[in-house]
Amino acid sequence: MRILYGVVGEGMGHATRSRVILEHLVRRGHQIKVVVSGRAHRFLTERLAHHESVTIEEIHGLSLTYVGNRVDKSESLKKNIKAAAKGIRKNINVYRKVAEAGFEPELVISDFESWAAVYALNHFLPVISIDNMQVINRCKHPADVIGKKSQAYRIAKVAVKSKLPGAYHYLVSSFFFPKVRKKRTTLVPPILRDEVIQAKREPGAHVLVYQTASANEKLVPALQQLPYEFRLYGMGREATEGNVSLRAFSEAGFVEDLRTARAVITGGGYTLMSEAVHLGVPVHSIPVEQQFEQELNARWLAHLGYGTWSPSVDIEKIRDFIERSPTYASALESYPRQDNRMLFRLVDELIERRARGESRPVRLDSPSMGGYDD
């Protein structure tokens, strides 16, 4: 089948997860055209260059500017407005190129990416949504997890709901599995890189720290107040500052530090959190401010006993978390670990159903981590 695959470029988690699915689609003999923005374009180009059945087009996408541990909304808006005209022209050119290249997609898959969804709408093509964001809108979250329904929650729910409406089916990747409340929705385990699946857990003494916003300069001085070894990624520089080792990003090095970590301190991003949970590494989450999706991940993490969270860098909470990390590691032993085979079966089933001309399936036959009316 000819598949148009859209990948959102803000954050690298979408790219690493999409690479896993794209490589599976290649093995199944499909022809794929990928549209992707931001840093994700370079990543996927490098990883998939040797596959003749995959072509990649760069599109323009929105980007965020961080100050400390929050999104600077005004600077983000200014930056995106400044780039809008050029970006729109670029996206129109890519749209025309795809439409006129003779590729003629039969199906669209989107990892929370709108360009491909618009193309599908204009060409009357079905869309399969594969991402973690739809858990906000398509699942029911207990009050003791979600807390008071804040403005951030309401905004996030509306934004997610409007992103890919009316999809053929929604595969929602998650390390927590709430009740599905909407039709055509199936929960799948975290989408994991082969490097993580093959990694063997061997806890050491160091704490792995991943910082999304390199502008958060308060983090290093805070960690230096604690009597532990920290290996910090994401600051954009290499240095050793007391007990904090700032490291340049390396996939192999990062996975090695993850599998041997005593614990992890990170934001609320889904990818690292789900990889740590899979490996059994306790997590303390500090979500980016006013990012409800990250806060939801953190709340579920604490609810399940896999770690803790705090709205900002709190030295005493971090100290307590590290000291109690064996307790969280014990809770993680009961986590229902899966590789990617369940996901692949579900993706294959959807493609086969579409190839047979079936209408949008309310539920799927392949085993999953939860679905409508399960």
Q: What is the DSSP letter of 142?
A: -
Q: Which amino acid is at 76?
A: S
Question: Among residues of the chain, what percentage have pLDDT more than 70?
Answer: 88
What number of other Cβ atoms are within 10 A of residue 373's Cβ?
Answer: 8
Q: With contact defined as beta carbons under 8 Å apart, do 283 and 277 qualify?
A: yes
Give which of 199, 250, 228, 190 is closest to 325, Cα–Cα: 228
SS3 letters for 45-72?
A: HHHHCCCCCEEEEECCCCCCCEECCEEC
Q: Tell me which of 7-11, 234-238, 324-328, 362-366 is least confident.
A: 7-11
Predicted confidence (pLDDT) at residue 341 exceeds the cutoff of 80 = yes
Q: With contact defined as beta carbons under 8 Å apart, do 233 and 251 qualify?
A: no
Predicted confidence (pLDDT) per residue in 207-231, tens digit:
999 987 655 677 899 999 999 999 9
pTM for the full model?
0.90
What confidence score (pLDDT) does residue 85 get? Answer: 62
Distance CA 125, CA 118 (A): 10
Average pLDDT, integer, range 88-92? 69
Q: With contact defined as beta carbons under 8 Å apart, do 244 and 220 qualify?
A: yes
Give which of 181, 195, 193 is closest to 256, Cα–Cα: 195
Predicted confidence (pLDDT) per residue in 150-204, tens digit:
778 888 899 999 989 999 999 999 999 999 999 999 999 999 999 999 999 999 9
Q: Which domains does the chain have, with CATH numbers?
A: 2-193+339-371 (3.40.50.2000), 194-332 (3.40.50.2000)
Predicted confidence (pLDDT) at residue 240 exceeds the cutoff of 70 = yes
What confidence score (pLDDT) does residue 61 get? Answer: 59
Give the pLDDT band of residue 328 (cuts 50, 70, 90): very high
Distance CA 219, CA 222 (A): 5
Give the pLDDT band of residue 39 (cuts 50, 70, 90): confident
Give the pLDDT band of residue 357 (cuts 50, 70, 90): very high
Residue scoring higher pLDDT (57 or 11): 57
Q: Tokens at residue 241, please?
A: 């500052």
What number of other Cβ atoms are within 10 A of residue 355's Cβ?
Answer: 11
Distance CA 256, CA 275 (A): 12
Question: Among residues of the chain, what percentage have pLDDT more than 90?
Answer: 69
156: Cβ contacts below 8 Å, ≥ 6 apart: 136, 292, 293
Give the pLDDT band of residue 100 (cuts 50, 70, 90): low
What confidence score (pLDDT) does residue 236 get? Answer: 80
Average pLDDT, integer, range 322-332? 98
What confidence score (pLDDT) does residue 99 get? Answer: 63
Predicted confidence (pLDDT) at residue 72 exceeds the cutoff of 50 = no
